Chain A
């Protein structure tokens, strides 16, 4: 999780050295950089649903230029992989290479079960630009549903202050919502093929939207692997951010 922090530091250092080389006064050691205090955020996520395990959180702190997804537009393949299989590694790998992402992390310990909470801590050096929270996780008992917070401003948060957010469910629009046991990876589909990522995009529209919820076999979709217990309403995730340092 410190990768971007390190990258940022290395860039800053190389710029300082380059500036030094064109300098006339023969100083070999660059002047010490002004000490900037690192910022530490604690992020606690609670699963608010009755029957939707949340795949390991992908958490990013990013600048104003960063966009993880746009409503009404196709999502990236990395977000599609997360939304269909719960695997956040590709998304976080891309975040690691994105100059607008200050820091990122994955929650540990497997899926976050209904009612459960998990806490992550992220450290970053105070950037020149504002800090925004990006957080995404798959609703495991859906085809391609995600819980997501995007572009939530944290810069105003002072030491020991907290801010709470409620996250809605989105449909990434990458997989048809058949709710069948062959296409859902979550425990409700046990016994089926439980296919995760497929590069085929066969939803009714290849675009990110708010999720319309699941139907379930108890509400008349005979081919659904889901019972009424996997139905959900917004919000699906509560996120509390506290600035520790």
Chain B
């Protein structure tokens, strides 16, 4: 419990009492072919959350999960007095790439918990997430594995479309453009209504049609989708 590095299964003991330090937070995209939209990384008070598994997504979370827009969530963090770093990678975080952010809560010791989110592409409303991890207090390097969630706000039809909250389909930024199919009829289904572990994309093997515009051979993933390394100075 002292300086253990926390591996798969993410065992975390909640340390009570505020503690301030400088934290370097590195996020690596572990997937083969799934892009992360700009990340939002935050240290915040223990009782605040960017999302809650099993609960309904907020409108701000929906904007991030459906279109990669982190400004609404970042505004909520500002209002809480949280520390945040928006878009540390300066754009998309490609498969295998890593990016890092620095958070220092010396002047705001109530910001004891770490959360992060970024949309996964190609998905309708999938995101990589970390919900309120108690920041370690002992100097050292700690690793965690992060999962892919489904915000539950949009049907996973897996066809080209919009990144606007409430509009169907998936946004398609330039790096993804040549990799997706087109004219998919859409995977049947509806918005699930609650945040949960993403079941993965279905895809198909027909770039000119079929049910999905996602390439089943290229774009599936299994958890974990990201590795988080927290270094405490």
Q: Is B170 an interface residue when CB atoms closer than 8 A count as contact?
A: no
Cα–Cα distance between A96 and B188 once the two chains are bound (Å): 46
Cα–Cα distance between A231 and B202 once the two chains are bound (Å): 9
The stretch from B5-13, B20-28, B104-112 touching chain A is B5-13
Task: Say yes or no: A166 contacts B200, CB within 8 Å.
Answer: no
The stretch from A5-13, A45-53, A75-83 touching chain B is A45-53
Cα–Cα distance between A235 and B196 once the two chains are bound (Å): 10
Task: Say yes or no: B189 contacts A114, CB within 8 Å.
Answer: no
Q: Is A218 an interface residue when CB atoms closer than 8 A count as contact?
A: yes
Q: Is A161 an interface residue when CB atoms closer than 8 A count as contact?
A: yes
Task: Say yes or no: A163 contacts B13, CB within 8 Å.
Answer: yes
Known contacts A46-B53, A50-B192, A238-B53; decide if A233 and B198 are in contact (CB<8 Å). yes
B1 nearest CB neighbor, chain A only: A156
Q: Is A234 an interface residue when CB atoms closer than 8 A count as contact?
A: yes
Q: Is B187 an interface residue when CB atoms closer than 8 A count as contact?
A: yes
Task: Say yes or no: A48 contacts B53, CB within 8 Å.
Answer: yes
Cα–Cα distance between A118 and B101 once the two chains are bound (Å): 36
Q: Is B137 an interface residue when CB atoms closer than 8 A count as contact?
A: no
Task: Say yes or no: B199 contacts A232, CB within 8 Å.
Answer: yes
Chain B residues whose C-beta falls within 8 Å of the C-beta of A229 in the assembled complex: 189, 199
Task: Say yes or no: A115 contacts B194, CB within 8 Å.
Answer: yes
Complex interface bits, A105-137 against B, C-beta within 8 A gives 1, otherwise 0: 000000000111100000000000000000000
- How many chain A residues sit at the interface, stated as a range, is 20 to 34
Cα–Cα distance between A234 and B147 once the two chains are bound (Å): 8
B residues adjacent to A (C-beta < 8 A):
1, 9-14, 16, 53-55, 147-148, 150, 152, 187-189, 192-200, 202, 211, 222-223
Known contacts A114-B194, A164-B11, A235-B223; decide if A47 and B54 are in contact (CB<8 Å). yes
B12 nearest CB neighbor, chain A only: A164
Task: Say yes or no: B11 contacts A46, CB within 8 Å.
Answer: no
Cα–Cα distance between A234 and B145 once the two chains are bound (Å): 12
Contacts across chains A and B counted by CB atoms under 8 Å: 89
A-B contact pairs, 28 of them (CB 8 A): A47-B196, A48-B54, A49-B196, A50-B192, A51-B199, A114-B194, A115-B55, A116-B54, A117-B54, A156-B1, A157-B13, A160-B16, A161-B14, A162-B14, A163-B11, A163-B13, A163-B14, A165-B9, A165-B11, A218-B187, A227-B188, A228-B187, A228-B189, A231-B202, A232-B199, A233-B198, A235-B197, A238-B53
Task: Say yes or no: B202 contacts A219, CB within 8 Å.
Answer: yes
Q: Is A236 an interface residue when CB atoms closer than 8 A count as contact?
A: yes
Task: Say yes or no: B13 contacts A232, CB within 8 Å.
Answer: no
Cα–Cα distance between A191 and B228 once the two chains are bound (Å): 45
Known contacts A116-B54, A117-B54, A233-B148; decide if A161 and B199 are in contact (CB<8 Å). no
Which of B1, B9, B192, B197 interacts with A233 by CB under 8 Å?
B197
Task: Say yes or no: A231 contacts B12, CB within 8 Å.
Answer: no
Chain A residues whose C-beta falls within 8 Å of the C-beta of B13 in the assembled complex: 156-157, 161-163
Chain A residues whose C-beta falls within 8 Å of the C-beta of B55 in the assembled complex: 115
Cα–Cα distance between A234 and B227 once the two chains are bound (Å): 15
Task: Say yes or no: A231 contacts B200, CB within 8 Å.
Answer: yes
| Interface pairs A-B: 8 shortest CB-CB | A115-B194, A48-B197, A115-B54, A231-B199, A50-B199, A228-B202, A162-B14, A46-B54
Beyond the given pairs A114-B192, A231-B202, A233-B197, 14 more chain A to chain B contacts, judged by CB atoms under 8 angstroms and listed by A's residue number, are A48-B53, A48-B196, A50-B199, A114-B196, A115-B194, A115-B196, A157-B13, A163-B14, A166-B9, A228-B199, A229-B199, A232-B197, A234-B197, A236-B197
Complex interface bits, A25-68 against B, C-beta within 8 A gives 1, otherwise 0: 00000000000000000000011111100000000000000000
Cα–Cα distance between A146 and B87 once the two chains are bound (Å): 39
Chain B residues whose C-beta falls within 8 Å of the C-beta of A166 in the assembled complex: 9-10, 147
Cα–Cα distance between A152 and B13 once the two chains are bound (Å): 13
Distance (whole angstroms) from the CB of B209 to the closest CB of chain A: 16
Task: Say yes or no: A233 contacts B54, CB within 8 Å.
Answer: no
Which of B10, B148, B200 interacts with A164 by CB under 8 Å?
B10
B199 nearest CB neighbor, chain A only: A231
Cα–Cα distance between A49 and B202 once the two chains are bound (Å): 16
Chain A residues whose C-beta falls within 8 Å of the C-beta of B189 in the assembled complex: 227-229
Cα–Cα distance between A157 and B1 once the two chains are bound (Å): 10
Complex interface bits, A225-245 against B, C-beta within 8 A gives 1, otherwise 0: 001110111111010000000
